[in-house]
Amino acid sequence: MQSEEKYDDLTALFEAQDAALDSEVFVDRVMQPIRKRARWRGPLLFGAGGLGIGAALSQIGGLFDILSVRAASLTHSFDDVRPGSLDFSTFDPLWIGAVVIMVMSCVAIVASERT
Amino acid sequence: MKPDIDLARDAASGQEAAFEALVRRHQGAVRGTARRLARHAAEADDIAQAAFLTAWRKIASYRGGSFKAWICTIAYREFLQARRKRKTEVEFDEGAHIVAFDTSAARLPEHLDLERALKTLPENQRICVVLCVASGLSHAEAATATGFPLGTVKSHVNRGVAALRKQLAAEGAA
């Protein structure tokens, strides 16, 4: 540290120069995009979360109906399922696309969040 | 006055007012660092603004120590990015001309002397002097930020400081 304490005189000159640069205009310039982003970020996240929760809750009633109808057929164990019997080609591409978009959106939100 | 570490913690929890207090407290150091590194004041303020916006995103990664050194390190990285971008633009724009270093930030005669003296230093020496002497980074922190070996940073700072003092003394005597 000794060698780092030899230039206090110059540091003081630089600090005096820096103090002359203080400006409220610059503070506003920095804070404006931060405030702007915060204005839509909260409602957007809560809105998306609320929509997701609403969609999930709305499906619970239907899920119970399906379970009550299918309960008898669910007695099979997973061991009974033949390997390779799951055929993705029968899936509706629209649903696969929707799942991919949802996953990508979640990844994008997580990546853009502050660390 | 609330310490930087407490303000940073509040800012990390999303309190914009805490971050605004940090911007207000350190704007001079960041703008000063950017002006000493960049070619002109407008570019320097863009760099300073980008540094604060990056700091807002990464505020949770601030683990204490000198906030001024932390934010000035970010400003240095933003300067490097801006310079890289500028070089690419110049390569594609043959008609582009180099704008002279703007000294409009300097208001007092001793500031002008300091700016002038700083400009005469070789670039790597100037960077090390700016980071260690003006922005308050330790030699080790400056070595990490610049990628220069620690001994090189020390040597650049010592030579730069000696050259600045010599020039300031000469201009003071003139």
What pLDDT, on a 0 to 100 scale, did the predictor assign at position B111?
Answer: 66
pLDDT band at B45 (very low <50, low <70, confident <90, very high): very high
Say if residue B130's pLDDT is above 90.
Answer: yes
Say if residue B103's pLDDT is above 50.
Answer: no
State mean pLDDT over B106-121: 75
Rg value, chain A, Cα: 29
Report whether B132 contacts B142 (CB < 8 A). Answer: yes
Residue-averaged pLDDT of chain B: 87
What pLDDT, on a 0 to 100 scale, did the predictor assign at position B78?
Answer: 96
pLDDT band at B160 (very low <50, low <70, confident <90, very high): very high
Closest residue by Cα to residue B62 from B22, B102, B20, B100: B22
Distance CA B153, CA B129 (A): 9
3-state secondary structure B107-161: CCHHHHHHHHHHHCCCHHHHHHHHHHHHCCCCHHHHHHHHCCCHHHHHHHHHHHH
Contacts of A109 (CB under 8 A, 6+ apart): A45
Distance CA A20, CA B48 (A): 15
Report whether B125 contacts B160 (CB < 8 A). Answer: yes
> A10 and B132: CB-CB below 8 Å?
no
Which residues from B are below 8 Å from A when comparing CB atoms? 12, 14, 16, 19-20, 23-24, 27-29, 31-32, 35, 45, 48-49, 52-53, 56-61, 105-108, 110-111, 114, 132-134, 136, 138-139, 154, 157-158, 161, 164-165
pLDDT band at B43 (very low <50, low <70, confident <90, very high): very high
Q: Which residue has the higher pLDDT, B112 or A61?
A: A61
A18, A34, A35: residue with CB nearest B29: A18
Chain A residues in contact with B157 by the CB 8 A cut-off are 3, 7
DSSP B13: T
State mean pLDDT over B3-21: 93
Chain A residues in contact with B11 by the CB 8 A cut-off are none
ipTM over 0.90: no
Distance CA A50, CA B11 (A): 26
> B20 and A3: CB-CB below 8 Å?
no
What pLDDT, on a 0 to 100 scale, did the predictor assign at position A47?
Answer: 87
Task: State the CB neighbour count (10 A cutoff) for residue B39.
Answer: 16
Tens of pLDDT along A13-31?
A: 999 999 999 999 999 999 9
Which of A9, A28, A31, A110 to mutate to probe the B interface, most B CBs <10 Å?
A31
State mean pLDDT over B81-103: 62
What pLDDT, on a 0 to 100 scale, did the predictor assign at position B105?
Answer: 46
Say if residue B99's pLDDT is above 60.
Answer: no
> B105 and A27: CB-CB below 8 Å?
no
> B27 and A26: CB-CB below 8 Å?
yes
What pLDDT, on a 0 to 100 scale, did the predictor assign at position A92?
Answer: 76
pTM above 0.80, yes or no: no
Contacts of A45 (CB under 8 A, 6+ apart): A109
Chain B residues in contact with A13 by the CB 8 A cut-off are 110-111, 114
Intervals of chain A under pLDDT 70? 1-5, 72-89, 113-115
State mean pLDDT over B52-76: 94
